[in-house]
Structure 1
Amino acid sequence: MRVRHKPWADDYLKENDHIVVPEPKNHKGKWRELFGNDNPLHVEIGSGKGQFITGMAAQHPEYNFIGIELAKSIIVTAVEKAAEADLPNVRLLNENAADFRELFEEDEVDTIYLNFSDPWPKNKHEKRRLTYKSFLEQYKAVLKDDGEVIFKTDNQKLFEYSLSSFSRFGMILQEVKLDLHAENDPMNVKTEYEEKFSSRGYRIYRSVATFQ
C-alpha cells in the first residue's frame, strides 16, 4: 500500500522531540539516563503507526520502550498516539534499523520485537529480512545474556525461514505458536497489521528466541 507523503512531517517531528529523539546515536549506552530510571529496555524494529509500542507501554509501565520507524509519513501517526496517551516510557526513533548497533551499546537491550516485518519473498533479497543472520548478529551484540527476540508475522514462509535462521545461528526457541489468536491471550497487544490480517482469517505466528 502506498503511503501518502506528508510535507509537514519534518516540522511535526521536530516539535515533538520529547517523543521522537533527535540525534539518537548520541544516547548509545545512555538510554536509561534519558528515561530517568533503570527499567528494562524493550525495542521494536518497524513500529509503523505505533499501536503496538504504545499499547505495550500502557500495559507495562515498568518497562521502557523504544520504537524504530524509518518512514516519516508513518512515524508521525505513532507520535500522535504516544502524545495522546501521554506515556513517559515511550520514545520513537526515525532511523534505519540497519544501523542497530550504532544506536545501542552491548548488553543494553532486554527485548527486541519484530512485528510483521517485510517478508522480502525473493531469494535475492534474503539479506534484507530482519531475521537474516547479519541482523541476528546485531541483536546478539546489544541484547543482555537472557534477552529475547519476539517475532510475529502472518507470513508462513517468512516464519519458517526465521525459525530455520534462528536455529542455524544457534539460538534457542523458547516459544513457537502456529496460531497465536487461537489462545485468545488478553495480554497480547496487536499491531495494526495483526488486526487487519487476523480479521481476514489469516493465522498469526509467534516465536520467542534467545541467544546461547
Structure 2
Amino acid sequence: MRARHKPWAEDFLREQTQYVELNPTAQKGNWRAQFSKNQPIHLEIGSGKGQFIIGMAKQFPNINFIAMELVKSILVSAVQKAVESQPDNIRFINYDAKDLSELFADHEVERIYLNFSDPWPKNKHAKRRLTYHTFLQQYQQILKDDGDIVFKTDNQGLFEYSITSFSQFGMILEEVNLDLHELNDPTNVMTEYEQKFAAKGQPIFRCRARFPKK
C-alpha cells in the first residue's frame, strides 16, 4: 500500500534533531559519537513506522540502533514514536539502502535487520531485493568481521530466495525458522506487518546469517 503523502513530513523531520540525522554521510566512520553511550551499532534497513526499532531500543539499552527509511511520509511515524517514548539509543536516517557505503565505514556496524522487505516478485526486479548479492556485498563491507543479518518475512518465495542468496554468497546460516511464533521467543519484537500477519495465523519466517571471518 502506498504511503499517504504528508506535506509537513520534511519540516517535522528537520525539527527532530535529537533523533534524525539530517546529514548522515557526514557521520561515516563516526556514528558511535552520535549517541550518548559508546556501544555496538545495529542497523535496520526499512524501518517502516518504527514499532520494531523502538521496541528493540527499549529492550536492549546496551545497543545503539540506527533505523533507515527511504519514504519520509512513513519515517515521520517512526520518529513520532521516538519523541513519545524518548529512547536515548536510536537515530533515524532518510536514505536509500543501495548507497550504504556512503553512510558507513568498513566494519562500523555489528548487525543488520531486514524486516518484511519488499519481495519484488518479478524475476526482472531481483536486483532490487535487499538480499540480492550486490546488497550483500555492501552489508559485508560495513559489518564487523563475523557480523550477521537477521531477516524476517511473511513471503515464502522471498525467504527461499534469500536463503539461497545467503548460501551462494558463502554466508553461514545460524538459524532458519519456518514459523517464528511457534518458538514463543520472548526477545522477538514484532513489526506492524508481523503483528497483522500473526493475528491471521500466517507463518513468519526468520533466519540469521553470518558472514565468515576473513
- Under TM normalisation by the shorter chain, which class is it? over 0.9
Deviations 1:146-187 (A, max 9, x none): 211000000001000000000000000001111000111111
Map of 1:143 onto structure 2: 143
Task: State whether structure 2 residue 180 is matched by structure 1 residue 180.
Answer: yes
Q: Aligned pair 1:64/2:64, yes or no?
A: yes
Aligned to 2:76: 76
- Cα offset for 1:199? 1.1
Cα distance in 2 for residues equivalent to 1:37 and 1:80 = 22
**TM-score relative to the length of structure 1:** 0.98
What is the alpha-carbon root mean square deviation over aligned residues? 0.7
TM-score, normalized by length of structure 2?
0.98
Query: What CA deviation, in whole Å up to 9, does each residue of 1:128-162 have, x standing for no partner?
Result: 00000000000000001121100000000100000
Aligned to 2:43: 43
Residue 160 of structure 1 aligns to which amino acid in structure 2?
Answer: E
Q: Distance in 1 between matches of 2:120 and 2:181?
A: 24
- Stretches of structure 2 that go unaligned for 5 or more consecutive residues are none
Name the structure 1 match of 2:15. 15
| SS of equivalent residue, structure 2 residue 44 | strand
Alignment of 1:186-201 (within 5 A): 186-201=186-201
Give the count of matched residue pairs.
212
Q: What letter is aligned with 2:113?
A: Y
1:27: Cα distance to partner?
0.2
Rounded to whole Å, the distance in 1 between the matches of 2:38 and 2:175 is 27
Distance 1:24 1:45 in 2: 14
- Show the counterpart of 2:6: 6
Tell me the amino acid that sits aligned with residue 7 of structure 2. P
Note the alpha carbon deviations across 1:44-96, whole angstroms, 9 max, x for none: 00000000000000000000000000101100000000111101100000111
Helix, strand or coil at the partner of 1:126: helix
CA distance in 2, matches of 1:151, 1:37: 27
Q: Distance in 2 between matches of 1:121 and 1:143?
A: 27
Q: Distance in 1 between matches of 2:36 and 2:4?
A: 36
| Percent sequence identity over aligned pairs | 61
- Compare 109-118 and 2-11 and name the one that shifted more: 2-11
- State the alpha-carbon separation in 2 of the partners of residues 51 and 141 from structure 1: 27
Letter of the structure 2 residue corresponding to residue 164 of structure 1: T
User: What is the distance in 2 between the residues matched to 1:41 and 1:35?
Assistant: 10
CA contact (8 A) 2:36 2:88 kept: no
Amino acid in structure 1 at the alignment position of 2:179: D
Paired amino acid for 2:90: V
Which amino acid counterpart does residue 124 of structure 2 have in structure 1?
K
Question: Which amino acid in structure 2 is aligned with residue 72 of structure 1?
Answer: K
- Residue 198 of structure 1 and its aligned partner are, at CA, apart by 1.1
Aligned equivalents of 1:173, 1:101: Cα separation in 2: 24
The CA deviation string for residues 78-117 of structure 1, in whole angstroms up to 9 with x for no partner, is 0000111101100000111111111110010000000000
Tell me the SS of whatever aligns to 1:111. strand
Query: Distance in 1 between the 2:139 and 2:150 partners?
Result: 11
CA distance in 1: counterparts of 2:33 and 2:192, whole angstroms: 31
Aligned equivalents of 2:186 and 2:163: distance in 1? 25
